Structures are given as structure tokens and as C-alpha cells.
């Protein structure tokens, strides 16, 4: 039996609900519209700071606590926050101390991917709602646990796949669902990122002053400090992330699944490598393609670091290729490319305003109403797992066959071993 996207989301919510697990309680108390919402932010160097700034546009929201393992970043952002708001935040180097702050209603988590699962689960346990950056987590099993924890503790969790709050993405998906494209046999998704340049190999060295490197590593394997593995470029190393496949991939694969009402592939194969920068310092591939086979169509994912000239002349996007025409959509808008005379060509620009701001506003609205946000863990699970499966196929070097019901690769111990992250003591993933 084919599992539809809608039935999967309903089943996932039921299976991991507090009632099903015998959870202690479900949060149903609403926050009054006039109540000030106090946020803490964990990981504030890059996207974390963009998330802070976006939330501060919403009234009545205050950011009263900041946490980062790099004291230089922490002091810089504390100064900027005080200049922006006129108020000083409480500063933390350990996120667990921040979570003990009973005045905080929610936290923003924008750490490297390998920290998403533990921090989100601990925040839910501490009674906080959560806005967590994408991808949901750095492994399939962590994603499973995060869905369970959010439902068990009854928290509102919004994942930063903010295409979900973009009106033009919804318009494009509605057109796909209309059937006007005809039978859709292939969907392409891609990220060509010219600004993500090569990083040269660098030797290990001393940990920078004022950096708690052991806390930065957290559950990841113990390693000597290397500047390539720190701050932004952590995403090119398997210990902490999944390269462009999970970085940009979850944004765009999410739209593939949304448009096609798909859940999980039957099989995946992937190829790529350090083709652009063979002497570079990246561990993840700078060039990669993956083919996901679903019932009735296939998805082709591709990415390339260091160049911009992607399919259809766009640096990123999704193309739904049907018998009557192709719909191409990216962050700038969407267009119809007809197949001969079968349908008219059309272009649609993105509406004014930032989708990130719409996404953070949706999170705050849902904190007040206790309704499900635009991108809860169940939705983010779909995109993250499909992206991770592409990396599993890449690492094994062969086609792998996925069983959605068992959430495994039947009879494939090598591939199944790649579904979990190995945690360094004393850190442990809670058992859900």
C-alpha cells in the first residue's frame, strides 16, 4: 500500500503523541496576545543571529538570553542586541544553564546540525517551545527522536525550512496539484552555490582563546581543533552535518515532497565527490547527484559548490516536469515552461516581504494558539530523512533500497549503520 504524505503525517503524530507514549502532560495553555514572549538564542554567529533579528520584529517579543560557546561571538552579539533593544541579555556558555531560566518561553537553536537533536529535546523537556534551524538533525534516528519528544512534551516546534511560509511556494504547489502539468514523471531539485567557495586544507592547531571547544563538539567524536571544522564550514564534515545535500537539500526536497504528495523513496543511488576542488579541505562532496525513486516518478537532486549556473539558469530551484509543461520555482518566484502548445507560458514573481519573517511570525502565533506551525518536526522529518538517504547511498557507493514501514534498509547492515549517530560520552540521545 502506498503511504500518502497526509496519512504519514497523521500516523506520525498519533504514534509519537504523549497519549501513545504515556507522556506526562500535553501543553494546551494559550499565551494571551498581550503577553510578552521571552526568547533565548543558542548559537548566534550566523543564521542564529538572522533568526534573532527576525523574531525581534514581532511585538511583543523580547530576546533576553544569549548562548554561544565562542565568547568573542557572545560578547559581540550581546553588544549588538543592547544597541538594538536598549536592554541587556543574560549570557551563557552552556545551553543547559540557559534552559533553567524559568522566565524564557522559547529558545532559538541555530547550532551546527549535530547539536539540533539534543538541544531541542532538552528544551522541550524544560518546557520551552523551540525554533530550530534546518536540517532537523544530523541522522535519521535523531530525527525520529525529535518528532517523538516534541509530541511527548506537547511543545510547539518550528523548523527553519521557511519556504513553508512563502506564499509563492504555496501558489506553485497548488498549480502542481491542479493537474494542469499533466503526468509528472520527473522532478529536479538543485543547489548551485557559487558563493560557497573551496576551503584549503589546514593543519590542526590550538583551540582559539575563549572558545569552549569540548562543548562545541558535544556528542560528536573527540578531535583536535581545526579551523575548517569550526563556525560556518562545519557543514562540510560528516561529524557535524551532511554537506549541501542536507544544508540546501532539505529546503528544496521539502518542496518536491509537498508538490508530489510523496513520503519516502523506494530506492536511492548517488554519486559525486571532490570534483571541483580535489585538493580542497571538504569532507562532503562539492559535487553530488542523487536519484530517488518513488511510486510513479523519480527525483533528481544535484548540487555544486563554487559555481552558480544551475539548471534553467537558476542557482537553486525545483522543476516539476510534466507531459504538458514544466513548472520551475525558486526563492524569486515561479514560471511555467509549456511543452509545445499544450499550455500557456507564465511567470509569477515572489510577493514582497521576507519568507523568514513570515516563518518566525507563524512560530510566535502558534506559541499563542498552540496550533501546529508551518514546519513542525513531522514535516521537517520528511525532508531531512530523504536528504540523509541520499547521503547514505553516496557513502555506500551503491543503490540502496528503503522500507518506509520499518524505517530501514532490509537486509543491508552497512546502510542501516549509517542511520544513527554515534554519541560521545557522557552525551546520550534520549530513548523515545
Distance in angstroms (rounded) separating the CA atoms of residues 286 and 276: 7
pLDDT at 25: 36
Does 302 have pLDDT greater than 70? yes
pTM attached to this predicted model: 0.93
Q: Which of 109, 160, 108, 118 is nearest to 139 (CA)?
A: 118
Query: What is the chain's mean pLDDT, rounded?
Result: 93
SS3 content of the chain, % helix, strand, coil (to 5): 35, 20, 40
Going through 274-407 in order, the beta strands assigned E by DSSP cover 287-294, 297-305, 316-322, 325-330, 333-338, 346-349, 400-401
From residue 110, give the alpha-carbon distance in Å to each of 49, 79, 132, 137, 347: 8, 19, 6, 11, 34
pLDDT at 408: 97
The answer to whether the peptide bond before residue 105 is cis (omega within 30 degrees of 0) is no
Distance in angstroms (rounded) separating the CA atoms of residues 118 and 124: 10
CATH of 167-353+386-417, picked from 3.60.21.10, 3.50.50.60, 3.20.10.10, 3.30.360.10, is 3.30.360.10
Distance in angstroms (rounded) separating the CA atoms of residues 360 and 158: 8
pLDDT at 136: 98
Alpha-carbon 58 to chain mean position: 23
Going through 165-296 in order, the beta strands assigned E by DSSP cover 184-193, 267-273, 287-294
Q: Which of 333, 350, 63, 45 is nearest to 208 (CA)?
A: 45
The conformation of residue 188, written as its DSSP 8-state character, comes to E
pLDDT confidence band for 32 (50 / 70 / 90): low
pLDDT confidence band for 301 (50 / 70 / 90): very high
Q: Are 327 and 264 in contact (CB under 8 A)?
A: no
pLDDT digits (tens, 9 = 90+) for 376-393: 999 999 999 999 999 999
Structural element, H or E, at residue 24? none
Structural element, H or E, at residue 11? helix 5-15
pLDDT digits (tens, 9 = 90+) for 264-297: 999 999 999 999 999 999 999 999 999 999 999 9
Mean pLDDT of 182-190: 98
Q: Are 188 and 319 in contact (CB under 8 A)?
A: yes
3-class DSSP assignment, residue 42: strand
Does 31 have pLDDT greater than 80? no
The answer to whether the peptide bond before residue 60 is cis (omega within 30 degrees of 0) is yes
Domain ranges of the chain: 5-164+356-376, 167-353+386-417
pLDDT digits (tens, 9 = 90+) for 113-149: 999 999 999 999 999 999 999 999 999 999 999 999 9
Does 12 have pLDDT greater than 60? no
CATH of 5-164+356-376, picked from 3.30.1330.80, 1.20.140.10, 3.40.50.720, 3.50.50.60, is 3.40.50.720
Distance in angstroms (rounded) separating the CA atoms of residues 129 and 158: 8
Mean pLDDT of 172-190: 98
Distance in angstroms (rounded) separating the CA atoms of residues 375 and 157: 8
pLDDT at 6: 52
Mean pLDDT of 25-51: 80
Residues of the chain with pLDDT > 70: what percent? 92
pLDDT confidence band for 170 (50 / 70 / 90): very high
pLDDT digits (tens, 9 = 90+) for 330-379: 999 999 999 999 999 999 999 999 999 999 999 999 999 999 999 999 99
Distance in angstroms (rounded) separating the CA atoms of residues 167 and 67: 33
Alpha-carbon 164 to chain mean position: 12
pLDDT at 431: 87
The conformation of residue 241, written as its DSSP 8-state character, comes to -
Beta bridge partners of 293: 267, 298
Beta bridge partners of 106: 39, 129
| Interaxial angle between packed helices 140-152 and 377-396, expressed in degrees from 0 to 180 and rounded to the nearest 10 | 170
Cell of 132: 530550530
**Among 10-14, 118-122, 172-176, whose mean pLDDT is lowest?**
10-14
Alpha-carbon 365 to chain mean position: 21
pLDDT confidence band for 35 (50 / 70 / 90): confident
Residue 97: CB atoms within 10 A of its CB come to: 12
Amino acid at each position: 500500500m502506498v503511504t500518502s504524505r497526509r496519512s504519514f503525517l497523521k500516523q506520525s503524530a498519533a504514534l509519537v503523541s504523549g497519549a501513545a507514549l504515556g507522556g506526562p502532560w500535553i501543553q494546551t495553555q494559550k499565551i494571551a496576545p498581550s503577553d510578552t514572549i521571552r526568547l533565548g538564542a543558542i548559537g548566534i554567529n550566523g543564521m542564529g543571529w538572522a533568526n534573532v533579528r527576525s523574531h525581534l520584529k514581532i511585538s511583543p517579543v523580547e530576546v533576553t538570553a544569549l548562548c554561544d560557546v565562542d565568547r568573542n561571538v557572545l560578547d559581540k552579539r550581546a553588544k549588538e542586541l543592547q544597541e538594538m533593544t536598549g536592554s541587556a541579555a543574560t549570557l551563557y556558555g552552556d545551553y543547559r544553564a540557559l534552559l533553567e531560566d524559568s522566565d524564557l518561553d522559547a529558545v532559538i537553536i541555530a547550532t551546527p546540525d549535530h547539536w539540533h537533536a539534543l538541544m531541542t529535546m532538552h528544551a522541550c523537556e524544560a518546557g520551552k517551545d523551540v525554533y530550530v534551524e534546518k536540517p532537523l538533525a544530523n541522522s535519521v534516528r535523531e530525527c525520529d527522536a525529535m518528532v517523538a519528544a516534541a509530541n511527548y512534551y506537547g511543545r510547539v516546534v518550528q523548523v527553519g525550512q521557511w519556504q513553508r511560509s512563502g506564499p509563492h511556494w504555496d501558489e506553485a504547489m497548488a498549480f502542481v496539484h491542479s493537474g494542469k502539468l499533466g503526468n509528472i514523471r520527473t522532478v529536479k531539485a538543485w543547489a548551485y552555490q557559487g558563493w560557497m567557495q573551496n576551503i584549503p586544507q589546514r593543519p590542526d592547531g590550538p583551540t582559539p582563546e575563549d572558545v569552549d571547544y569540548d562543548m562545541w563538539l558535544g556528542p560528536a567524536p573527540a578531535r583536535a581543533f581545526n579551523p575548517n571544522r569550526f563556525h560556518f564550514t562545519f557543514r562540510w564534515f560528516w561529524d557535524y552535518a551532511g554537506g549541501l545535500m542536507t544544508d540546501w537539500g532539505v529546503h528544496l526536497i521539502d518542496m518536491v515532497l509537498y508538490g508530489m504528495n510523496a513520503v519516502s523513496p523506494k530506492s536511492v543511488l548517488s554519486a559525486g565527490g571532490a570534483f571541483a576542488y580535489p585538493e580542497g579541505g571538504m569532507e562532503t562532496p562539492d559535487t553530488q547527484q542523487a536519484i530517488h525513486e518513488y511510486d510513479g516518478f523519480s527525483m533528481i537532486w544535484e548540487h555544486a559548490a563554487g559555481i552558480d549556473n544551475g539548471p534553467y539558469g537558476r542557482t537553486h530551484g525545483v522543476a516539476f516536469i510534466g507531459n504538458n509543461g514544466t513548472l520551475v520555482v525558486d526563492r524569486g518566484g515561479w514560471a511555467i515552461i509549456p511543452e509545445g502548445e499544450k499550455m500557456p507560458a507564465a511567470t509569477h514573481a515572489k510577493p514582497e516581504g521576507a519568507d523568514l519573517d513570515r516563518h518566525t511570525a507563524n512560530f510566535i502565533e502558534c506559541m499563542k494558539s498552540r496550533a501546529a506551525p508551518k514546519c513542525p518536526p513531522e514535516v521537517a522529518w520528511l525532508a531531512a530523512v530523504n536528504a540523509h538517504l541520499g547521503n547514505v547511498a553516496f557513502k555506500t557507493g551503491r543503490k540502496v533500497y528503503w522500507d518506509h514501514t520499518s524505517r530501514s534498509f532490509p537486509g543491508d547492515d552497512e546502510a542501516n549503520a549509517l542511520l544513527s549517530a554515534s554519541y560521545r560520552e557522557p552525551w546520550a540521545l534520549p530513548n523515545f
